[in-house]
C-alpha cells in the first residue's frame, strides 16, 4: 500500500486530498476546491470604480514594487479562476480507479477531474453528500454567472492576470494566494466548470456521528445575541456562512430569539439552491443526530425551518434581484447567503449596501483572512464578528478515537505530530504533502478459510512441537477472502504415503523394521564414497543394505537421501514402508 498526501487542505471548506495505492488500485480520497483563493479576485465592480486598476498611477506603483498597504485595486479584476488541489495535476487522472468522497465539500473539484480524457474511475459518495454537493456546485456555477456576464466571454484560454509580468507585480500577500508558498501552484488554477454536473455512482456509507458539543451551541447563542443587538439599533445582520449545519441551527435559534424579543425582523435566505437544500435537509432523517431523529418518530419535521417558512418568518429567495425579494424587502433584517469568500454571490451586493452602516453586523467564519476578504468593501464601518466553528476532528479526540478503532497502523500528518502523543502500541507513519509513503503490509500471510468437510478428512501427524497434515482442495477467492474447498477428486483415491522425508535414518532400526516384514538383509559398509571413514556419523550416513530375502534388493542410505533398488514392485513398496517408519515424513 502506498499513500500520498496531495493536500493537507485548510479548514471546513477545503478538505484534505489523498491518493492511496492499494495493490495497484489507485484510490483518490476527496477532490475539493480551494475557494479561499477566490480572495485574489475582485468581486463584481460597481460601475463608478470599474477598471481603476488600469490607471497609470497604480500601474507605475505596481511596476516599482512599492509595498504599501493593500487596497481593493490590487485585486485581480478578471473572471475568477478556481484553485484545485495542485498536486493532483501530477497524476494521470485516467489511472485513478476509485474516488471516495467523504463530504459535500470534498466533491467540489470533481467536475475538473471527471472531464479529463479517459477518466474512468468509479466515484463513491453517500446519497446525502452527493445531493448536497451537487447543489453546492450548482450554486457556485450560478453565482459565477454574474461575473461571467460582467466580464463577457473569455477570449483566451490563458487569462491576462496569469501572465508572469502581471503576477510579478502583485503584492506579496496576493502573490502567495496566486502562486502558493513555493510558487508552484499556478497550474492548479482552472476556469470554472459549467452546469454539467457529472453522474455519480452512489453508495451508502456510514458516518461517525458526534454529539453536538455544548461549546458549539454556545457560539451560536452568542452570534444570535450579537445579531439581536444589531437589529435592536436598526442595523441588519449579514451571515455569509456556508456551513449547512451551522445555518440550520442558527435559523432555529435566531427565529426563536427574535420571536421572544418581539422584534418584527424578517430572516431572508438568498441562494439559488436554498429552497431545494432546505427541502432536502428534511428528508434525510437517517443522517441527523439522535435528538433530531426523535422528531421523525413523533411525526414532526426534522428542522424548524419548514414551519418558519410556512409562517412567513423565514423567506427564501433564489437571488438578490428576484421580484419576490424586491416586494418583500424590509430592513433591518437578517440575511443568510453565500459565499463566505465575499467574492461571489448575493453577499457582495449586500455588503456594499451595508458596509458603511456602523449598526449592521457581518458574521464571518474565522480562518478567512478578513483583511484581504474585506478589501473591496473598505472603508468598513460595519461591525464584523469572526467566529470559529468546529471542523473535522479536534486533536484531543484523536487519542480516544484510536483507542476505539485500535488500528494496526496510523498515518498522521507530520506537522501535527508534535502536538499530540500517540501511544506506542500503534505503528505510526508521519506524512507530509506530496510525499509518497510506503505502508508495509501488516500481514505476512493471507487468511484462509478451510471448509469443514475438507478439514474432517485430515490425517494428522504429530511431531516434537507441531502437528501437521497434508491438505488438498480447490482454492476460491470470494469478496477478498481465500477459501479452500474440497476438490473434485475423492481424497481416498490419492496416495496416502509421505512424499517428503526428513531426518536421518538409523540403518539398524531400518533393518529391524524390514525383518518385521519378513525381509532380511545385511549392512554393507561403503568405502569408496566421498565420505571418509573417520566421519563420526559415517555409519549412519552412508551404508548399503543388501537385501537377499525374499528377493535381491539394495538400499543405499546416505546423509541426504536413500535410494531403493529393487526389481520387484511389491518388495520396493515394502521397503518404502520401512523407510517411512525410520524417517520423519509427510
Partner 1 sequence: MAIDSLVLGAGQEVGKSCVVVSINGKRIMFDCGMHMGYTDSRRYPDFSLISNTGDFDNALTCVVVTHFHLDHIGALPYFTEVCGYKGPIYMTYPTKALAPLMLEDYRKNMDRRGEDEQFTSDHITECMKKVIPVDLKQTVQVDKDLQIRAYYAGHVIGAAMFYAKVGDAAMVYTGDYNMTPDRHLGAAQIDRLQLDLVITESTYATTIRDSRYGREREFLKAVHTCIAAGGKVLIPTFALGRAQELCILLEDYWERMNLKVPIYFSAGLTIQANMYYKMLINWTSQKIKETYATRNAFDFKNVRNFDRSLINAPGPCVLFATPGMIVGGFSLEVFMQWAPSEMNLVTLPGYCVAGTIGHKLMSGKPTKIDLDKDTQIDVRCQIHQLSFSPHTDAKGIMDLVKFLSPKHAILVHGEKPKMATLKERIQSELGIPCYCPANNETVTVPSTHYVKADASETFIRSCLNPNFKFSTYSSVDKSYLDSKYSKAASGLQVSDERVAEGILVVEKGKKAKVIHQDELLLMLGDKKHEVQFAYCFPMHTERLQKTRTEELPSADTLLCDLDKCTLINQLSMKLSNELSDANILDLGEQLQVESFRVSICSKNSCPHRLSHSVHNDSESVFLCCHWSLRDEKLAWKIISIMKSSSPHTT
583: how many CB neighbours lie within 10 A of its CB?
Answer: 17
Residue 282 interacts with partner 1 (CB under 8 A): yes or no: yes
Closest C-alpha to 577, from 568, 559, 564, 560: 564
172 vs 298, which CB is nearer to partner 1? 298
Residue 396 interacts with partner 1 (CB under 8 A): yes or no: no
Q: Taking the chain, what is the end-to-end CA distance rounded to the nearest angstrom?
A: 37
399 vs 573, which CB is nearer to partner 1? 573
Residues 6+ apart with CB under 8 A from 24: none
Span 538-557, contacts to partner 1 by CB under 8 A: 552-554, 556
List 41's β-bridge partners, or say none.
76
Shortest distance in whole angstroms from residue 517 CB to partner 1: 17
Residue 564 interacts with partner 1 (CB under 8 A): yes or no: yes
- Find out whether 350 and 317 touch, Cβ atoms under 8 Å: no
* Interatomic CA distance for residues 393 and 401, integer angstroms: 10
Prior bond to 481 cis, omega within 30? Answer: no
β-pair type (81-84, 98-100): unpaired
Span 460-479, contacts to partner 1 by CB under 8 A: 463, 465-475, 478-479
296 vs 439, which CB is nearer to partner 1? 296
181 vs 290, which CB is nearer to partner 1? 290
Q: What is the per-residue binding string for partner 1 in 287-316, x denoting contact by CB under 8 A?
A: ------x--xx-x-xx--------------
Residue 405 interacts with partner 1 (CB under 8 A): yes or no: no
**Three-state DSSP class for residue 394:** coil
Residue 565 interacts with partner 1 (CB under 8 A): yes or no: yes
293 vs 359, which CB is nearer to partner 1? 293
327: how many CB neighbours lie within 10 A of its CB?
Answer: 7
Residue 186 interacts with partner 1 (CB under 8 A): yes or no: no
262 vs 495, which CB is nearer to partner 1? 495
Shortest distance in whole angstroms from residue 457 CB to partner 1: 12
Which H or E run includes 2? Answer: strand 2-7
Ranges of beta strands (E only) in 371-439 are 383-387, 409-413, 427-431, 436-438
Shortest distance in whole angstroms from residue 278 CB to partner 1: 9
Which residue carries 503584492 as its cell?
A: 171
* Interatomic CA distance for residues 191 and 156, integer angstroms: 11
Backbone angles phi, psi at 278, to 5 degrees: -65, -40
105 vs 553, which CB is nearer to partner 1? 553
Residue 8 interacts with partner 1 (CB under 8 A): yes or no: no
47 vs 499, which CB is nearer to partner 1? 499
Span 124-163, contacts to partner 1 by CB under 8 A: 127
Point out which span in 15-23, 39-47, 103-111, 278-286 binds partner 1 (CB under 8 A). 278-286
Residue 503 interacts with partner 1 (CB under 8 A): yes or no: yes
Residue 401 interacts with partner 1 (CB under 8 A): yes or no: no
Shortest distance in whole angstroms from residue 124 CB to partner 1: 12
385 vs 450, which CB is nearer to partner 1? 450
Shortest distance in whole angstroms from residue 285 CB to partner 1: 6
Which H or E run includes 81? Answer: strand 81-84
183 vs 475, which CB is nearer to partner 1? 475
CA distances in angstroms from 274 to 13, 278, 279, 350, listed in the order given: 18, 6, 8, 17
Q: How many residues bind partner 1 (CB under 8 A)?
A: 80
Residue 284 interacts with partner 1 (CB under 8 A): yes or no: yes
Provide the residue count of the chain: 586
Shortest distance in whole angstroms from residue 130 CB to partner 1: 12
Residue 496 interacts with partner 1 (CB under 8 A): yes or no: no
* Interatomic CA distance for residues 367 and 127, integer angstroms: 29
Residue 492 interacts with partner 1 (CB under 8 A): yes or no: no
Pick one of 59, 487, 515, 516: the residue that binds partner 1 (CB under 8 A): 487
Shortest distance in whole angstroms from residue 521 CB to partner 1: 12
* Interatomic CA distance for residues 146 and 141, integer angstroms: 9
**Three-state DSSP class for residue 189:** strand
Span 415-454, contacts to partner 1 by CB under 8 A: 444-452
Residue 501 interacts with partner 1 (CB under 8 A): yes or no: yes
Pick one of 321, 378, 397, 482: the residue that binds partner 1 (CB under 8 A): 482
Shortest distance in whole angstroms from residue 437 CB to partner 1: 23
Closest C-alpha to 358, from 228, 264, 236: 236
Shortest distance in whole angstroms from residue 173 CB to partner 1: 41
CA distances in angstroms from 505 to 24, 462, 498, 547, 562, listed in the order given: 49, 18, 15, 17, 9
375 vs 564, which CB is nearer to partner 1? 564
- Find out whether 27 and 384 touch, Cβ atoms under 8 Å: no
Shortest distance in whole angstroms from residue 31 CB to partner 1: 24
Which residue carries 502437528 as its cell?
A: 467
Pick one of 151, 389, 412, 458: the residue that binds partner 1 (CB under 8 A): 458
Nine-digit cell at 78? 478578471
Residue 275 interacts with partner 1 (CB under 8 A): yes or no: yes
Nine-digit cell at 370? 478578513
Shortest distance in whole angstroms from residue 374 CB to partner 1: 34
* Interatomic CA distance for residues 519 and 374, integer angstroms: 105
Pick one of 97, 202, 219, 280: the residue that binds partner 1 (CB under 8 A): 280
Backbone angles phi, psi at 93, to 5 degrees: -60, -25
Residues 6+ apart with CB under 8 A from 568: 551, 553
Shortest distance in whole angstroms from residue 550 CB to partner 1: 13
Amino acid at each position: 500500500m502506498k499513500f500520498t498526501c496531495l493536500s493537507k487542505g485548510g479548514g471546513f471548506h477545503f478538505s484534505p486530498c489523498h491518493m492511496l495505492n492499494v495493490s495497484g488500485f489507485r484510490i483518490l480520497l476527496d477532490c475539493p476546491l480551494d475557494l479561499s483563493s477566490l480572495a485574489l479576485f475582485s468581486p463584481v465592480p460597481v460601475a463608478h470604480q470599474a477598471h481603476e486598476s488600469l490607471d497609470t498611477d497604480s500601474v507605475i506603483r505596481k511596476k516599482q514594487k512599492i509595498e504599501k498597504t493593500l487596497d481593493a485595486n490590487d485585486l485581480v479584476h478578471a473572471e475568477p479562476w478556481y484553485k484545485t488541489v495542485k498536486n493532483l495535476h501530477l497524476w494521470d487522472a485516467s489511472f485513478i480507479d476509485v474516488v471516495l468522497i467523504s463530504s459535500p465539500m470534498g466533491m467540489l473539484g470533481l467536475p475538473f477531474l471527471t472531464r479529463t480524457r479517459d477518466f474512468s474511475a468509479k466515484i463513491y459518495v453517500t446519497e446525502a453528500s452527493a445531493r448536497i454537493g451537487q447543489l453546492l456546485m450548482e450554486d457556485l456555477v450560478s453565482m459565477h454567472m454574474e461575473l461571467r456576464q460582467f466580464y463577457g466571454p473569455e477570449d483566451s484560454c490563458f487569462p491576462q492576470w496569469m501572465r508572469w509580468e502581471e503576477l510579478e507585480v502583485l503584492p506579496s500577500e496576493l502573490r502567495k494566494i496566486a502562486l502558493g508558498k513555493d510558487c508552484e501552484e499556478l497550474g492548479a488554477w482552472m476556469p470554472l466548470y459549467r452546469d454539467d454536473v457529472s453522474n455519480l455512482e452512489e453508495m451508502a456509507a456510514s458516518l461517525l456521528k458526534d454529539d453536538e458539543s455544548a461549546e458549539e451551541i454556545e457560539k451560536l447563542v452568542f452570534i444570535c445575541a450579537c445579531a439581536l443587538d444589531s437589529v435592536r439599533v436598526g442595523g441588519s445582520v449579514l451571515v455569509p456562512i456556508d456551513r449547512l449545519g451551522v445555518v440550520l441551527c442558527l435559523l432555529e435559534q435566531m427565529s426563536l430569539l427574535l420571536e421572544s424579543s418581539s422584534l418584527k425582523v424578517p430572516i431572508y435566505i438568498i441562494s439559488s439552491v436554498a429552497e431545494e437544500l432546505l427541502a432536502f435537509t428534511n428528508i434525510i432523517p437517517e443522517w441527523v443526530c439522535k435528538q433530531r431523529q426523535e422528531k421523525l418518530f413523533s411525526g414532526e419535521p426534522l428542522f424548524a425551518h419548514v414551519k418558519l417558512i410556512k409562517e412567513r418568518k423565514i423567506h427564501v429567495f433564489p437571488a438578490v434581484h428576484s421580484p419576490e425579494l424586491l416586494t418583500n424587502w424590509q430592513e433591518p433584517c437578517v440575511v443568510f447567503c453565500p459565499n463566505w469568500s465575499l467574492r461571489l454571490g448575493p453577499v457582495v451586493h449586500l455588503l456594499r449596501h451595508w458596509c458603511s452602516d456602523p449598526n449592521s453586523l457581518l458574521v464571518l467564519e474565522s480562518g478567512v483572512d478578513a483583511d484581504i476578504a474585506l478589501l473591496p468593501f473598505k472603508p468598513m464601518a460595519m461591525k464584523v464578528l469572526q467566529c470559529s466553528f468546529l471542523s473535522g476532528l479536534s486533536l484531543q479526540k484523536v487519542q480516544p478515537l484510536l483507542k476505539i478503532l485500535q488500528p494496526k497502523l496510523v498515518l498522521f500528518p507530520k506537522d501535527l505530530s508534535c502536538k499530540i502523543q500517540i501511544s506506542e502500541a500503534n505503528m505510526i507513519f508521519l506524512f507530509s504533502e506530496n510525499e509518497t509513503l510506503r505502508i508495509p503490509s501488516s500481514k505476512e500471510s493471507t487468511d484462509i478459510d478451510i471448509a469443514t468437510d475438507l478439514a474432517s478428512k485430515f490425517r494428522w501427524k504429530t511431531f516434537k512441537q507441531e502437528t501437521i497434515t497434508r491438505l488438498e482442495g480447490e482454492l476460491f477467492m470470494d469478496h477478498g477472502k481465500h477459501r479452500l474447498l474440497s476438490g473434485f477428486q475423492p481424497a481416498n483415491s490419492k496416495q496416502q504415503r509421505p512424499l517428503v522425508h526428513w531426518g536421518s535414518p538409523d540403518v539398524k532400526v531400518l533393518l529391524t523394521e524390514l525383518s518385521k516384514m519378513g525381509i532380511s538383509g545385511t549392512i554393507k559398509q561403503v568405502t569408496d564414497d566421498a565420505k571418509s571413514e573417520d566421519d563420526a556419523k559415517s555409519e549412519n550416513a552412508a551404508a548399503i543394505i543388501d537385501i537377499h530375502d525374499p528377493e535381491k534388493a539394495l538400499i543405499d542410505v546416505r546423509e541426504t537421501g536413500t535410494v531403493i533398488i529393487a526389481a520387484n514392485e511389491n518388495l520396493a513398496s515394502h521397503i518404502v514402508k520401512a523407510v517411512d517408519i525410520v524417517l520423519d515424513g509427510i
